[in-house]
Amino acid sequence: MKVIKSEPIYFSSNIRRLRALKKINQEELAERLGIKRSKVNSYENRVALNPPLDDLLKFSMSFNMSIDTLLRVDLTKLNELQIRELQSGNDVYLRGGTLRILATTINADNRDNIELVGVRAKAGYTAGYKDPEFISALPTFTLPFLSENKKYRTFQLDGDSMTPIPDGAYVIGEYLQDWRQIKDGHAYVILTKDEGIVFKVVYNQIRKKQNLLLRSLNAAYKPYELPIEDVLEVWKFINFISKELPGQLTTNEKILLELEDIKNRIVEKKN
């Protein structure tokens, strides 16, 4: 779905869309902007096709969105979550880079679903991740303890590279629009051009080397660098669901449990 055009033809539909999301009428918007309601009406109905720079700046500041986005991106093709992403500082024309449009599904309450990408669907996800029809065919569910203002998707693991998280577990990821926010040592689900879906601990080397360093929890797998141009999507690890208990405890976890056990025995002895 292509939403960026070379001609500034989306201004009228965009301000109608943004005004509707704010749940304000033309009179209220005009008052906020310090202009007449008739002028807002003429912009929305394409009577006035060339708004002056002063008015464009007022709309830009009021909606927290760049002028280029107001003119060149069809916001009617984006859902509310995607528009909030732009307004929260991920506007491509404000920060540079590539605008990534996420295909998603919503439930009867107009909330984003959590789509489930199982092992069988993983092979087709690389080709279909931007296809609304492919995404709409995935199983969906909701979790009440997750934020309504963020987008989540679940991926089923295949393999033992992230042990102690077991093979077959379902990893819940939060969609990350701005890849510069990737934090060193945190786990992410990465959709890549050649490898498909991978789940790794990531180190952000975008500024220095234009790549990500990926490391498995299982020491049998060696770390490797992934060029940023081979990355298609990034999902921040939130939680996982599994019918199996995690594998063997790490040395640090064993030490903490042993210290806790010693502490409890000392308390019992004093009592």
Contact (Cβ atoms closer than 8 angstroms) between residue 135 and residue 103? yes
pLDDT 10s per residue in the chain (271 long)? 333 333 457 899 999 999 999 999 999 999 999 999 999 999 999 888 788 888 999 998 899 888 878 888 888 888 777 787 777 665 554 444 455 567 888 888 778 899 999 999 998 999 999 888 899 999 999 998 998 888 999 999 999 999 889 999 999 999 998 888 899 999 999 999 999 999 999 999 988 898 999 999 998 999 999 999 899 999 999 999 988 766 555 555 556 556 666 776 777 777 6
Contact (CB, 8 A) for 241 and 165: no
CA proximity to 153, closest of 166, 139, 172: 172
Residue ranges of the domains in the chain? 11-95, 114-241
The predicted pLDDT at position 4 comes to 36
> pLDDT at position 130, please?
85
Model pLDDT, residue 74 = 85
Distance CA(168)–CA(157), nearest Å, equals 5
Instruction: State the burial class of residue 29 (Cβ atoms within 10 Å of its Cβ: 0-12, 13-18, 19+).
Output: buried
pLDDT computed for residue 111 by the predictor? 82
Q: Which CATH number fits domain 11-95: 3.40.50.720, 1.10.260.40, 3.20.20.70, 1.10.760.10?
A: 1.10.260.40
Are residues 247 and 240 in contact, defined by beta-carbon separation less than 8 angstroms?
no
Q: What is the distance between the alpha carbons of residues 227 and 207, in angstroms, rounded to a whole number?
A: 12
Q: What pLDDT does residue 47 have?
A: 86
End-to-end Cα distance, the chain = 69
Task: Specify the 3-state DSSP secondary structure of 233.
Answer: strand
pLDDT at 88: 67
* Amino acid in the structure at residue 52: P
Task: Enumerate residues 6+ apart whose C-beta is below 8 A from 11.
Answer: 43, 51, 70, 71
| Distance of alpha carbon 200 from alpha carbon 192, whole angstroms | 12
Buried b (16+ CB within 10 A) or exposed e, 225-238: ebeeeebbbbbbbb
CA distance 157 to 119: 7
Q: List, in order, residues 6 or more apart from 9 with CB less than 8 Å away.
A: 71
- Could you give the CA distance from residue 133 to residue 136 in angstroms, rounded to a whole number? 5
What per-residue confidence (pLDDT) applies to 64? 86
Q: Which fold has domain 114-241?
A: Umud Fragment, subunit A (2.10.109)
Residue with tokens 């996420």: 102
Would you say the CATH fold of 114-241 matches that of 11-95? no
Task: Quote the pLDDT of residue 266.
Answer: 75
